[in-house]
Amino acid sequence: MADNKFDYYLDGKTGKWEVIIGLEVHAQVTSRAKLFSGSSTKFGSDPNTQVSLVDAAMPGMLPVINKFCIEQAVKTGLGLKAKINRFSKFDRKNYFYADLPQGYQISQFKFPIVGEGEIVLDMPYGTKVVGIERLHLEQDAGKSLHDQDPENSFVDLNRSGIALMEIVGKPDLRSPEEVGQYVKKLRSIMRYLNTCDGNMDEGSLRADVNVSVRKQGSQQLGTRCEIKNVNSIKFMQQAIEYEAKRQIDIIEDGGTINQETRLYDTKKNETRSMRSKEDAHDYRYFPDPDLLPLVLDSEFIENIKKTLPELPDEKKHRLMNDFGLSSYDASIIISEKDISDYYEDVAKNSDYKLAANWMIVELFGILNKEGKEIKDSPVSAVNLSKLINLIKNGTISGKIAKTVFEQMVQRNENPEVIIEKSGLKQQSDPKELEIIIDNIIKNNQDKVIEYKSGKIKLFSFFVGQAMKDTAGKGNPQLINNILSKKLK
């Protein structure tokens, strides 16, 4: 695989261009209560039903840190192999908007809770380490609804105050493909840790994408533009491609890039200027006087460390070293928590290697075809492990297994029952097979003579006849053995 070389360079009129990308990912902390209030964070509730006095910024209300959200941030930091800052602070980011009740967002500016870390990506051209700059906690805003009434806008504060982790990556990414892998890996780590559910369509994970370009071989960074609030991997990739080409065109036409914030229009597939650097908000950050600095003792951090589950990278090594999975198979198995959980359920009761093969080839084939996620798999892990065991103990052949699997997909049935009902059980009695094979030899003496005179290709003819006469249920291994002996 290392033969593949990185080659994402965009062609311009003046030559090849490299694209530099850095992501600021906003990940909603998995927590039943908000960051500074006890309100519920449940998705999809009626507007303004999950709003406390604090979330609505009533006069005299004060924020109180939700300790669980702190634990979740530390856990995520540990999962990113990052430095946990024992001292951090909450700051106010001041701006006016109808869905920002306080008139400021409580965030962490100067002293984030988590410092530098890293994420390892498996790319076709080898592994790539992408740096994490920092992770900090902040409140989400509410939601303005502009399409409910011709005259008025409405505000839903259910999201107001929900805890977000902003994970700021270094500008280490070089292609849309890497961005996709990065987001998937980050999401996978957080899902393993259960610190963010990563549901992009519910807004639990979204990103601001920073893009700049430079001539291939150049070491200098170009001026970047920030594409705000993109909420799917596909859109991120499209936006990057569009934005990079836009910047290349400008520079090649003798222009310069203005540092600015842009919006990605998913319908037109283009980015548009939202505000220039000059118009950028002055957020007037300052430490929130309602909250004391957050000081974590080492015991608190150690206790969280002890609860860390096996993370994707560690699991990949274990699958490769202990069970002989290929790097490719292992990467696929660990890529998502749900896949990995399913895999463990199948493998622990059957066979690690066969489980990987069956999942990657057969199960994913079906899922892709039907556009389903593993959690909606038509075949349960228990039934797939049973199927693998039936192959392992010779009850059915791999070929029959595929037929059985097709039926399992139809109605998630126990493969043992399917085999019983359809009489697909493998014919593995050597005596019975010998009788069948003897008959084949007797009836095909001409072929036997040809075979013995050197036309060894005919062996498969005999195997085929045997399978035909056993209605496909003959144990291929046994048939091979008996035939070899008889035709000697």
Q: Using the minimum distance from each CB to another protein, give the nearer residue, 56 or 274.
A: 56
- Closest distance of CB 340 from another protein, Å: 39
Q: Are strands 270-276 and 260-265 parallel, antiparallel or unpaired?
A: antiparallel
Q: Which stretch binds another protein (CB under 8 A): 55-63, 265-273, 359-367, 423-431?
A: 55-63
When binding is defined by CB under 8 A, the residue of 7, 44, 46, 60 that contacts another protein is: 60
Q: Using the minimum distance from each CB to another protein, give the nearer residue, 60 or 150.
A: 60
145 binds another protein (CB under 8 A): no
- Closest distance of CB 409 from another protein, Å: 53
When binding is defined by CB under 8 A, the residue of 1, 62, 361, 382 that contacts another protein is: 62
Q: Using the minimum distance from each CB to another protein, give the nearer residue, 104 or 182.
A: 104
Site for another protein in 10-29 (CB under 8 A): none
Q: Which stretch binds another protein (CB under 8 A): 58-66, 305-313, 411-419, 425-433?
A: 58-66
To 5 degrees, how large is the angle CA 180–CA 120–CA 109? 80
- Closest distance of CB 264 from another protein, Å: 24
The count of chain residues that interact with another protein, using the rule CB under 8 A, is 30
- Closest distance of CB 101 from another protein, Å: 6
When binding is defined by CB under 8 A, the residue of 12, 63, 112, 117 that contacts another protein is: 63
Q: Which stretch binds another protein (CB under 8 A): 9-17, 69-77, 174-182, 277-285?
A: 277-285
Q: Using the minimum distance from each CB to another protein, give the nearer residue, 289 or 371.
A: 289
98 binds another protein (CB under 8 A): yes
The 3-class secondary structure across the chain, one letter per residue, is CCCCCCCCCEEECCEEEEEEEEEEEEEECCCCECCCCCCECCCCCCCCCCCCCCCCCCCCCCCCCCHHHHHHHHHHHHHCCCCECCEECCEEEECCCCCCCCCEEEECCCCCCECCEEEEEEECCEEEEEEEEEEEEEECCCEEECCCCCCCCEEECCCCCCEEEEEEECCCECCHHHHHHHHHHHHHHHHHHCCCCCCHHHCCEEEEEEEEEEECCCCCCCCCEEEEEECCHHHHHHHHHHHHHHHHHHHHCCCCCCCEEEEEECCCCEEEEEEECCCCCCCCCEECCCCCCEECCHHHHHHHHHCCCCCHHHHHHHHHHHHCCCHHHHHHHHCCHHHHHHHHHHHCCCCHHHHHHHHHHHHHHHHHHHCCCHHHCCCCHHHHHHHHHHHHCCCCCHHHHHHHHHHHHHHCCCHHHHHHHHCCCCECCHHHHHHHHHHHHHHCHHHHHHHHCCCHHHHHHHHHHHHHHCCCCECHHHHHHHHHHHCC
Site for another protein in 150-209 (CB under 8 A): 153, 155
Contact 459, 479 (CB under 8 A): no
Measured distance CA(432)–CA(197) in Å, rounded: 56
Q: Which of 140, 125, 117, 246 minimizes the C-alpha distance to 174?
A: 125
When binding is defined by CB under 8 A, the residue of 10, 57, 145, 263 that contacts another protein is: 57
Site string for another protein, 421-440 (x = CB under 8 A): --------------------
Q: Using the minimum distance from each CB to another protein, give the nearer residue, 7 or 96.
A: 96
What is the number of residues in the chain? 488
When binding is defined by CB under 8 A, the residue of 3, 7, 282, 299 that contacts another protein is: 282
When binding is defined by CB under 8 A, the residue of 79, 101, 176, 198 that contacts another protein is: 101
Q: Using the minimum distance from each CB to another protein, give the nearer residue, 281 or 348.
A: 281
58 binds another protein (CB under 8 A): yes
Measured distance CA(98)–CA(156) in Å, rounded: 10
Q: Could you tell me the sign of the dihedral formed by the alpha carbons of 133, 135, 136, 139, in that order?
A: positive
- Closest distance of CB 136 from another protein, Å: 18
Q: Which of 162, 110, 100 minimizes the C-alpha distance to 136?
A: 110
When binding is defined by CB under 8 A, the residue of 290, 370, 373, 376 that contacts another protein is: 290
When binding is defined by CB under 8 A, the residue of 120, 123, 291, 448 that contacts another protein is: 291
- Closest distance of CB 160 from another protein, Å: 11
Q: Using the minimum distance from each CB to another protein, give the nearer residue, 96 or 147.
A: 96
When binding is defined by CB under 8 A, the residue of 42, 272, 284, 372 that contacts another protein is: 284
Q: Which stretch binds another protein (CB under 8 A): 61-69, 357-365, 410-418, 432-440?
A: 61-69
When binding is defined by CB under 8 A, the residue of 75, 89, 92, 187 that contacts another protein is: 92
Q: Which stretch binds another protein (CB under 8 A): 52-60, 175-183, 334-342, 360-368?
A: 52-60
Binding site for another protein (CB under 8 A): 53, 56-65, 92, 94, 96-98, 101-104, 153, 155, 282, 284-286, 289-292
